[in-house]
Structure 1
């Protein structure tokens, strides 16, 4: 039985979903996306995700006027696909729409909206045991704060991690840690949590925001400053944080063991508080 998806106002079987080859999302990667996790049918930080989506749309001047309808659409997708009682994700992509191939943004164009639901369980083994990561040069563009569908650089970088038996790639730009291919990066040194400040070089991660809130509430010092590549290997703990990653400990970077190759005390505490929230 084909899964149900949402496309331009309709709930239809996935095998019947059709998008024009002239859609600018296909030709130019001219669009943005968002992924929201639902824990047993309840969205986590829905308002934050919606606010980030609205900002991404605004930054690339896509006039999508149906944001208020999305919550109901997402619930229907969960129900239609028998995911309302499971840990699930909703993927939403909004592109500028269909038009002849021109490099400027056409006027009076109707955006294409596509959404689907999928199972998104916690990666228990990674959460419990931690993962190995590798470092790579951040080859992405200079507007990483926009959640763009143009993810080829991210995919190339993550593919290299997979080929080397790693769980993520930590990205380095001008000698500084920015983030990972699809997650935020936070370090812990002497009990202080350190992460790159929000800028055009990093996505404003929802899980990152939650981690910093947990730290503030529990008197864990936070420093929003870039970690130098040389400092990365001297950290006591490293956390990969994201909607899918949740709070994943890093136990090795390249060939260097972090801590004692076990998730650290601060990471464990943040994990505990995070899952209390969800």
Structure 2
């Protein structure tokens, strides 16, 4: 697959080897921007409208004016799929910064946002989905506006690196002993048939897959408790899993040195995995039929 990123603010396609990134760019100097990662299955976006909606919410929260409407962005992203001849499993990375201007903490006047996106191959994590993964726990040291999908990811990067150094897939973050989410995913615990997760506040990212989980549990009549759970509760969990656009519904079988349940992905996690896969297939078919 050829890789043709797009400079959306200029509405043109440029091969990545020919990219010239601005020197005084606020994304580089301040992390002053927002982003999205969108899953692609068989050459078709999954949950694309949800991701576009969240991008607009994030941009509004940090006062970035986007240079397109939702419909215009959707059309550009569909053209990007065609330009790259995408027909396999992949992912889109889409980033918006406030723009380029002499370095100053104060917002520049009359500045246009810098926007770019690119697509790269992303195979499904079949082994992890089947067998489950190990995680660790880490203190949540992030800022209070985690609902904004911003470029300020250093605390997430540090937590993810610590997990990697310990042979784990991700780090489960907690504030004052209460689990919030993972470094790059939402996280859930299952006890006595009920799914527990942190409430939808500004302290966590409102995941697009998380929103689908809310629908899946309702369709499957599985109780959902959004009052959260503690690090101490993990030792009593029957099942655990995490969700994100690239991780899907990923079972957690070990946290630190604690085995979750019997050390195998549990029945409710399996039901939610199946619901996710069915939903992704249904969505892609519907989109293909309307294009």
Q: What is the deviation of 1:70?
A: 1.9
Indicate the residue corresponding to 1:268 in structure 2.
Answer: 270
Count residues with an aligned counterpart: 277
SS at match of 1:233: helix
Q: What is the deviation of 1:174?
A: 1.2
SS at match of 2:204: coil
SS at match of 1:260: coil
Tell me whether 1:69 sits opposite 2:72 in the alignment: yes
Tell me whether 1:132 sits opposite 2:161 in the alignment: no
Measure the CA separation in 1 of the matches of 2:138 and 2:100: 36
Indicate the residue corresponding to 2:85 in structure 1.
Answer: 82
Answer yes or no: is the 8 Å Cα contact 2:67–2:113 preserved in 1: no
Q: What is the deviation of 1:82?
A: 2.9
Q: What is the deviation of 1:86?
A: 0.8
Q: What is the deviation of 1:72?
A: 2.2
Indicate the residue corresponding to 2:259 in structure 1.
Answer: 257
Measure the CA separation in 2 of the matches of 1:18 and 1:72: 24
Answer yes or no: is the 8 Å Cα contact 2:67–2:112 preserved in 1: no
Any idea what the Cα deviations from partners look like across 1:94-140, whole Å, max 9, x if unmatched? Answer: 00001111112222110000100011221000000000000001111
SS at match of 1:53: helix
Answer yes or no: is the 8 Å Cα contact 2:209–2:248 preserved in 1: yes
Cα distance, 1:2–1:15 mapped onto 2, change above 3 Å: farther
Measure the CA separation in 2 of the matches of 1:30 and 1:218: 41
Instruction: Map residues 118-267 of structure 1 onto 2, 5 A cutoff.
Output: 118-267=120-269
Q: What is the deviation of 1:2?
A: 6.2
Answer yes or no: is the 8 Å Cα contact 2:137–2:173 preserved in 1: yes
Indicate the residue corresponding to 2:5 in structure 1.
Answer: 5
Cα distance, 1:264–1:182 mapped onto 2, change above 3 Å: same
- TM-score calculated relative to the size of structure 2: 0.93
SS at match of 1:252: strand
Indicate the residue corresponding to 2:285 in structure 1.
Answer: none
Q: What is the deviation of 1:80?
A: 2.5
Answer yes or no: is the 8 Å Cα contact 1:145–1:201 preserved in 2: yes
Measure the CA separation in 2 of the matches of 1:97 and 1:186: 37
- TM-score calculated relative to the size of structure 1: 0.97
Answer yes or no: is the 8 Å Cα contact 2:138–2:174 preserved in 1: yes
Q: What is the deviation of 1:165?
A: 0.4
Indicate the residue corresponding to 1:91 in structure 2.
Answer: 93
Q: What is the deviation of 1:75?
A: 2.2
Answer yes or no: is the 8 Å Cα contact 1:2–1:14 preserved in 2: no
Could you tell me which runs of 5 or more consecutive residues in structure 2 were left unpaired when the two chains were aligned: 281-291
Answer yes or no: is the 8 Å Cα contact 1:251–1:259 preserved in 2: yes
Any idea what the Cα deviations from partners look like across 1:120-165, whole Å, max 9, x if unmatched? Answer: 2210000000000000011111111000011111111101111100
Greater than 3 Å deviation, 4+ residue runs: none
Q: What is the deviation of 1:47?
A: 1.4
Answer yes or no: is the 8 Å Cα contact 1:188–1:237 preserved in 2: yes
Q: Give the RMSD, CA atoms, in angstroms.
A: 1.2
SS at match of 1:178: strand
Indicate the residue corresponding to 2:283 in structure 1.
Answer: none
